[in-house]
Structure 1
Amino acid sequence: MKKRKLEVAVISDVHLGTYGCHADELIAYLNSIKPKKLVLNGDIIDIWQFSKRYFPPSHLKVLKKVIGMASNGTEVYYITGNHDEMLRKFADTSMGNFKIVDKLILNLDGKKAWFFHGDVFDVSIQNAKWLAKLGGYGYDLLILINRMTNWALSKLGREKYSLSKKIKNSVKSAIKYINDFENTAADLAIENEYDYVICGHIHQPKKELYENKHGSCTYLNSGDWVENLTALEYSFKRWKIYRYNHDKLLPFFVDDDLKELDMQDLIASITKEASTDQVKEKEKETEGDIID
């Protein structure tokens, strides 16, 4: 099976290190694409809830896969979010094709795209971080309960059910928060003359043209890899929402060695690939000296 070639792929809210993360499915997706640019739009590693007791091989394999893509020519941008905010101290760090940033602006076929995670709009995070973290633990517990419920439903031949999505969609304050988030992001994008604004954070995949009296822009959200299993893809001058559950070709891209990777393998792989990049850079410098 040939990999799909993309200009840009965007994923966010993977939450590696939590029970809700669908790492196996994400690896299958990453195996199926060949993007020129991969944007990791925040909350990839859940440092808030990180535990040495739970970080399975498939979660490590996601990190290895991303680093492998960078070493093979894909430009990888890691935009920091609230759950991986500890990485913000490394903002503007660059290691070959892998870059850590707080926000990103790309020119896509003559149009400006503004990428950021979106937690800057979250009042609970800005003013009461402990409350937001407590909510994160509760959400993770809800996902764990939901997994057990869906296991039972599948045994009975019933359709899977999302408890957290049902709760969020039934609470008016949650709906208002999401609408306010989207409107604020779009208004700021129009004010700064961006054509696209691309966020994560609220776990709600969306693509919508937004207009106000000052202009218009396209609001996009990459969703998450906890409930929705979605990404954003840009190719042929168009954006689309990718949905894992609608992709019938994904079984052909599932990795067979997910359970064989451990921490030592990952570290060895990173070290090897970093050394390879350094050698390539030295070779380029040497070639430049010869030409001079």
Structure 2
Amino acid sequence: MNAPTEPRHYRALFLSDIHLGTRGCQAGMLLDFLRLHDAETVYLVGDIVDGWRLRKNWHWPQEHNDVVQKLLRKARKGARVVYVPGNHDEFLREYVGTHFGGVEVMDSCLHETAGGEKYLVIHGDQFDVVVRHARWLAYFGDWAYVTALNVNTVVNGIRRKLGFPYWSLSAWAKLKVKNAVNFIGRFEETLADEARRRGVSGVICGHIHHAADQETNGIHYINTGDWVESCTAIAERHDGTFELIRWADMCRTGVPLQIAHHQAVA
């Protein structure tokens, strides 16, 4: 995957929950993704930088800096880059309405597709009761989550030595715990209701690290997922349709190599 290639081009790309500044961030996989995918508009839908973790323990390897530089380079080359902060990078909400390095900071925004449909773009933590009303519990949940990711790192280190591909223990556990499944369902319904209240066709959000592209109560609900567990992104094609890209799954099947080869000979 080191041969120079032209990236796949989309009308818009949506990324969230990258969590730069944490050990669980899959920055290397994201860099490969950004090298092979481009768009007219790139939406960063919150929790791109993890301020919660950085305040407690500074962790910023070169790959994390490379991700920032890659995104800024896309802005310099003409892409519109919109940053919608989440709860982990809420410090950026103080800069809503400003630009830095060609990046627009917005609390939320509307995205209009090639077909003229409007989508609310928002991180989604505003509709998480725990984050809004029980911050101490949110911090405790964050600690538990980071602990699970640390275990996940050890497990995947062993899997790599045995020749097995990447697998997310925390993502698997999330879908097996009834309370987590119920929370995801309530979150999806709440965001769909907010989209309906604002009179738009759909909502594109993040926050819960669970990628989705579905209809929820008559609203097109899209969740970008994350770059800690599943490594997913949402793309709008030039015909106005959406694509959920599951990058970790594609890497397991060798698809990135196929993309690079196709682009190299095209």
| TM value normalised by structure 2 | 0.88
**How far apart, in 1, do the equivalents of 2:255 and 2:166 lie?**
21
- 1:81 correspondence with 2:86: yes
1:59-208 maps to which residues of 2 (within 5 A)? Answer: 59-95=64-100, 97-109=102-114, 110-158=116-164, 160-208=166-214
**How far apart, in 1, do the equivalents of 2:106 and 2:42 lie?**
13
**How far apart, in 1, do the equivalents of 2:213 and 2:62 lie?**
33
The answer for the alignment partner of 2:241 in structure 1 is 238
Task: Pick closer, same or farther for the CA change 1:160–1:74 going to 2, 3 Å.
Answer: closer
Task: Pick closer, same or farther for the CA change 1:191–1:60 going to 2, 3 Å.
Answer: same
Task: Pick closer, same or farther for the CA change 1:25–1:113 going to 2, 3 Å.
Answer: same
**How far apart, in 2, do the equivalents of 1:158 and 1:90 lie?**
43
User: Which whole-Å deviations, capped at 9, do the CAs of 1:18-71 have from their partners, x for residues lacking one?
Assistant: 011000111111111220000000000000001564210000011111111111
The answer for the alignment partner of 1:227 in structure 2 is 229
Between the two proteins, what is the percent identity of the paired residues? 35
Query: Contact 1:197–1:219 at 8 Å: present in 2 too?
Result: yes
Structure label with greater radius of gyration: 1
User: Which whole-Å deviations, capped at 9, do the CAs of 1:257-291 have from their partners, x for residues lacking one?
Assistant: xxxxxxxxxxxxxxxxxxxxxxxxxxxxxxxxxxx
102-111 vs 84-93, greater mean Cα deviation: 102-111
SS in structure 1 of the partner of residue 86 of structure 2? coil
**How far apart, in 2, do the equivalents of 1:200 and 1:229 lie?**
12
- 1:40 correspondence with 2:48: no
Instruction: Tell me the CA shift for residue 159 of structure 1.
Output: 5.6
Task: Pick closer, same or farther for the CA change 1:125–1:52 going to 2, 3 Å.
Answer: closer
Letter in 1 for 2:49: I
SS in structure 2 of the partner of residue 145 of structure 1? helix
Letter in 1 for 2:139: K
Residue number among 49, 55, 65 corresponding to 2:53 in the alignment = 49
**How far apart, in 1, do the equivalents of 2:26 and 2:160 lie?**
17
Gaps of 5+ in 1: 254-292
- Quote the RMSD (CA, aligned, Å): 1.7
Gaps of 5+ in 2: 261-266
Q: What is the number of residues matched between the two proteins?
A: 249
Instruction: Tell me the CA shift for residue 188 of structure 1.
Output: 1.9
| TM value normalised by structure 1 | 0.81
Letter in 2 for 1:221: N
